Structures are given as C-alpha cells and as structure tokens.
Amino acid sequence: MEIGSCIRLQSGGCPTSYLTRASGFYEQSVSTVNRTSGVSSNVMFPRKSCICKATLKEANNNIEAVKVKPSEFTAEMELSSLTAISPLDGRYRTKVKDLSRYLSEYGLIYYRTLVEIKWLLKLSQIPEVSEVPSFSKEAETKLQGLIDGFSEADAIQVKNIEKITNHDVKAVEYFLKTKCQEDPEIAKVLEFFHFGCTSEDINNLAHGLMLKEAVNSVILPVMDDLVTAIYTMAKANAHVPMLSRTHGQPASPTTLGKEMVIFAERLSRERRDISQVEILGKFAGAVGNYNAHAAAYADVNWPQVAEQFVNSLGLSFNSYVTQIEPHDYMAKLFHSFIRFNNILLDFDKDIWGYISVGYFKQVTKAGEIGSSTMPHKVNPIDFENSEGNLGIANALLDHLSMKLPISRWQRDLTDSTVLRNIGVGLGYSLLAYKSALVGIGKLQVNEAALNKDLDNSWEVLAEPIQTVMRRYAVEEPYEKLKELTRGKAVNKESITEFINGLEIPVEAKKELLKLTPHNYVGVAAQLVEEACLRANARA
C-alpha cells in the first residue's frame, strides 16, 4: 500500500471529519485560538502530518473512511513537561529552570531591553549630543523601571510586535517607543533609542550579560557544591587504604581519599579558569568603524564612549570588530566548560567502576526501583545520567566553540541561530552536575570490600622490596621479584620468606616486614590534607 493512502486515525490524528484519498492538503480547515495572543486562525493540515493506520478490504482494497470525534485530537498541543521536545524543558525542567531567566528567549529580550535603555541614558550624558539632554530624576526612574519591572507580559508584547516587523531587535525598539511615548520628556528623544546601532551591538551585549549572569548566579554555585562534595569525600577517606589499578591490574595501594582529591583539585582548577574568562562586548556600529556615529556627531570620541558604555555594563571592551563581536571569548569559555565536564565524566566513570567492584554501596530510598526485573539491584543511575548528559553538553559546546568564531567577511547570520543554543549546552552541563551531586550523596564506603582486595594482593609489595634491594646493591632486584610474583600466588608468608632471605641490613629487613598492602600507601593521606587546607584557604 502507498504511504499516506491509509485512513483510520489513531488518537492525536488530523482534525477532519472525513478523510479522502486526495493528495496534498485536506480542504477542511480547523479554527484554532492561540492561548497566548488570543488570535484565531484557520489551520490546514497536510496529509503527511497524520498519524495513520492502514486498513485493506480483502476483496477490493477499498479505503475505509472513519469519522473522527473532536475529542480525539488537539490542533495545537499546549507546551508542558509532557509535550516539550527538549527534555530540558520537559522531564528535567525543575532541575535547570534557574537558567530560564537568563538563557531563554525571555532572557534575551530582557537584556536587549536593558541595553537599549542604558544606551539612551548614556547618550544623555554626552554634551555634544545636545538633542538628548540630561534626563530628570523622574525620567530616569521611568526608564529604569522598564528594566526592573520587565515581565513575561512585556516579552510577549515584544514577540507580538516581532510578528509584524519580522525583526527581533527592532521589535524591542518599537516596544520601548510605545512604552515611553506618553512621557513628555522621553517622547522627545524616542528616535535616539537604537541610535547608531546595528542589531548586533545590542545582541552581543545581551548575550554577554546573559552568559555572565547565568554562569555567576546559577552554574558556578553548583560547580562549587560539586567540588566541595568531592573534597569532603577526600578528607573523610584520607586514611582509607585502597588497591590501585593501573591498566586494570592490581598496583601500588593508595587511599580512597587521595583518589578523590585528585578530581577535586582538577575540577577546582577548571572552575577557576571559567570564572576568569573575560566576557567581551562591542558597540561600534554596522561594520565596527562607528560610521553612522561619526556622520552624525563627528566631534565625539565614539570609541571612547563605546568603551565606557560596555564597561558600565560589567563587560570588557573589544575595540577591533566587524559587525559582530567575534565570539572568541565564548569559544574560550565553552572550551573551559568542556574541560571541566571531561574531568567530571572521568570521575563518573571511576565511581561507576568502584560501585561495580563493591568499593561503594549506595543508600537506598524506600519505594525506588533499581531494575524492573531484578529486585536486588541498585543501579548507579545518577552517575550514568551525569555521564550521558555531559556527552550531550560537550557535543553542543564543542560546536559552539568551533562555529561561533567563524563569520564570512564582515558578518553572516549563521551565528544568530547557533547562539540560541547556549542555554542548551549549559543546561545539560548543569543537569549533569546536579545528577553527580545526587549520586555522591548516596555513596557509602564499603571498607570490607576494600580490605578484601588488599588482603588478596600481597604481590604489590614487590615494588618497595625491589626498590630497597637497589639501595643496598643487591644484584638484579627487579628480576628476582619478577620471578617471585609474576603468574604466581603471592601471600604474606611467601613475601616474609623472601624478605628474610635477603642480604640486606637487619633494620632494613624489619622495615620491609612491617609493610602490608594496607599500610603501603606512601604519603597519600598527607597529600589529601594539604589539598584540603589549600581549598579552605581559597574559599
């Protein structure tokens, strides 16, 4: 049967009374009402959008026509956690919603509004721009109030204007003119909203502010919680011995705390790098030369004014640009996130492995299911979720880092749509951090399993024994220990016998005989304590 020639609709299918085999669009339209704007419209539904089930008459392949009740379809599904395409706005909404005020469409419109208003206020402070005199306190309060009181209703109003202008930044300008046209003082200078600006002058500053506020207000605090949690694990287990594994094989013992402090230190270093990335902004007009500015007011030092303005927003100034700020700082920032994420991914994998071999148990919660068929299981799902989401985050952040610094000639528009996904890359990162934190909170050290592995790994003492033998010039120490240990069962008795047979000073023998897999951990505990002290000092 030809695809699309079927008729019977399942729930959620097309809203027609009777369906025919006509190609293209069904002639019947459905009247819908947008619940946000209140605007009604007729919607034509293409055949291929139907969810169909094919039926065949055995005798003659006739097509069965089935009447569909209105209750069986919804012309436009309301956005909710169930209907969202992205799981960030659906299943995981509660975990990443703090980013919404900064990295959503609402956040972009808000920061555009802020930049437009702040620029008008800046113009009023330039003596040469006499057409925009200093504002009264009342007018300044009015303008600042538009920023402080900016609401979702305001953002919706901007979006409705955009439906007419088909230009998102221009819609903000028109919104502000509408809001200020009845103020006698501001109304005189309405045309100085967006004066000398290209859209990217507004956008790049808005994106910079979005990133700065989202990272500082939401992401860095969660990073800090994560790093602190791992430092806490390290300190609590500084003296807990653990068998190392290099190449997956038993190796010189360490302590659980020392292995944790490595991750805490690595993550802490990358977190500092992220906080030190300089967020840049430009405000130099259509191609970065202040062409329009100079044409209108040739006696104003516009580069200086632009630098003052960008700095007043808490951003660093980029003097040499095209129409766009070239986004190099974004690449640096996102690559820093990728490094942080890779370290956390390494941590997730290690913890997963330690849970697998029994070094950690997981605290169970009443009512939770580990496996749908195996009741005994408590799966390390939090670390697996973290690992999976870090992969998605890094893929997006890598694309942003590689794509954004590249723009044809003085600018192309490929960065515009890509920049709208900043919140996605950072959202999956935040989700991963929170998942790892939940997982850490469930961990319990299983010292019995740690001790069992150590008790069964006396061969790891081959390293210190042959090293001491070198000190006292015993011939072929490595080879002798290789003969003793490789491919053979090694235990306390065989190690003791070997040490007693060595021709080395008695005191050296006594020290070697004190060694066990449990206490041969070097200065691991000291390293942990020193790292934790430095971390406390930084805090």
How does pLDDT run across 262-319, given as a tens digit for each residue? Answer: 999 999 999 999 999 999 999 999 999 999 999 999 999 999 999 999 999 999 999 9
Q: Is the pLDDT of residue 212 over 90?
A: yes
Q: Quick one: tokens of 122?
A: 């800046």
CATH number at residue 130: 1.10.275.10
Rounded CA-CA distance 489/495 in Å is 11
For residue 42, the model assigns a pLDDT of: 46
For residue 206, the model assigns a pLDDT of: 98
In a domain, residue 276? The reply is: yes
For residue 369, the model assigns a pLDDT of: 59
Indicate the number of domains in the chain. Answer: 3
For residue 69, the model assigns a pLDDT of: 52
Q: Quick one: tokens of 531?
A: 């790292």
Q: Is the pLDDT of residue 436 over 50?
A: yes
Query: pLDDT confidence of 3, banded at 50, 70, 90?
Result: very low
Q: Can you tell me the mean pLDDT for 459-472?
A: 95
User: Cα 37 from chain centroid?
Assistant: 32
Rounded CA-CA distance 265/261 in Å is 6
Could you tell me the pTM of the whole model? 0.83
Counting every residue written for the chain, the total comes to 539
Rounded CA-CA distance 299/311 in Å is 22
CATH number at residue 239: 1.20.200.10
CATH number at residue 475: 1.10.40.30
In a domain, residue 313? The reply is: yes
Rounded CA-CA distance 460/451 in Å is 14
Which of 29-38, 339-348, 524-533 has the least mean pLDDT? 29-38
Q: How many CB atoms lie within 10 A of CB 213?
A: 17
Tell me whether residue 251 is exposed, middle or buried, using C-beta atoms within 10 angstroms of its C-beta: 0 to 12, 13 to 18, 19 or more.
middle
Report in angstroms the alpha-carbon separations of 426 from 200, 337, 370, 476.
Answer: 22, 8, 29, 56
Do the beta carbons of residue 237 and residue 263 sit within 8 Å? no
Q: Quick one: tokens of 428?
A: 């999956």
Rounded CA-CA distance 157/164 in Å is 11
For residue 371, the model assigns a pLDDT of: 60
For residue 367, the model assigns a pLDDT of: 60
330 and 299 assigned to the same domain:
yes
In DSSP terms, 263 is beta-bridged to none
Q: Can you tell me the mean pLDDT for 336-342?
A: 98
Q: Can you tell me the mean pLDDT for 377-396?
A: 93
Q: What is the mean pLDDT of the chain?
A: 87
Q: Which of 197, 225, 252 is the last residue of a domain?
A: 197
234 and 313 assigned to the same domain:
yes
Query: pLDDT confidence of 379, banded at 50, 70, 90?
Result: confident
235 Cβ contact list (under 8 Å, min separation 6)? 257, 528, 529, 532
In a domain, residue 44? The reply is: no
Rounded CA-CA distance 539/537 in Å is 5
Q: Is the pLDDT of residue 62 over 90?
A: no
Q: Which of 197, 213, 238 is the last residue of a domain?
A: 197
Do the beta carbons of residue 47 and residue 4 sit within 8 Å? yes
Domain that holds residue 234: 201-366+375-447
Residues marked active site are found at 247, 371
In a domain, residue 73? The reply is: no
381 and 302 assigned to the same domain:
yes
- Taking only the tens place, the pLDDT of each residue in 118-162 is 999 999 999 999 999 999 999 999 999 999 999 999 999 999 999
Rounded CA-CA distance 425/403 in Å is 14
For residue 68, the model assigns a pLDDT of: 46
206 and 349 assigned to the same domain:
yes
For residue 368, the model assigns a pLDDT of: 66
For residue 78, the model assigns a pLDDT of: 82
Q: Write the DSSP symbol of residue 64.
A: P
For residue 11, the model assigns a pLDDT of: 39
H or E segment and range at residue 254: strand 249-255
Q: Can you tell me the mean pLDDT for 338-359?
A: 97
In a domain, residue 227? The reply is: yes
285 and 267 assigned to the same domain:
yes
Q: How many CB atoms lie within 10 A of CB 267?
A: 24
38: left (phi over 0), alpha (psi -120 to 50) or beta: left
456 and 426 assigned to the same domain:
no
Q: Is the pLDDT of residue 26 over 60?
A: no
For residue 374, the model assigns a pLDDT of: 62
Q: Which of 197, 224, 247 is the last residue of a domain?
A: 197
Query: pLDDT confidence of 501, banded at 50, 70, 90?
Result: very high
- Taking only the tens place, the pLDDT of each residue in 238-273 is 999 999 999 999 999 999 999 999 999 999 999 999
Strand, coil or helix: what is 493? helix
Query: pLDDT confidence of 79, banded at 50, 70, 90?
Result: confident
Query: pLDDT confidence of 46, banded at 50, 70, 90?
Result: very low
227 and 172 assigned to the same domain:
no
Do the beta carbons of residue 193 and residue 177 sit within 8 Å? yes
- Angle made by CA atoms 234, 235, 238, in degrees to the nearest 5: 80
183 Cβ contact list (under 8 Å, min separation 6)? 139, 142
In a domain, residue 258? The reply is: yes
- Taking only the tens place, the pLDDT of each residue in 481-498 is 999 988 888 999 999 999
In a domain, residue 65? The reply is: no
250 and 123 assigned to the same domain:
no
Q: Can you tell me the mean pLDDT for 391-401?
A: 97
233 and 381 assigned to the same domain:
yes
In a domain, residue 398? The reply is: yes
248 and 169 assigned to the same domain:
no
Strands 40-43 and 30-33, by their bridges, are: antiparallel
H or E segment and range at residue 394: helix 381-403
208 and 306 assigned to the same domain:
yes
- Taking only the tens place, the pLDDT of each residue in 437-452 is 999 999 999 999 999 9
Rounded CA-CA distance 182/188 in Å is 10
223 and 187 assigned to the same domain:
no
Q: Is the pLDDT of residue 463 over 80?
A: yes
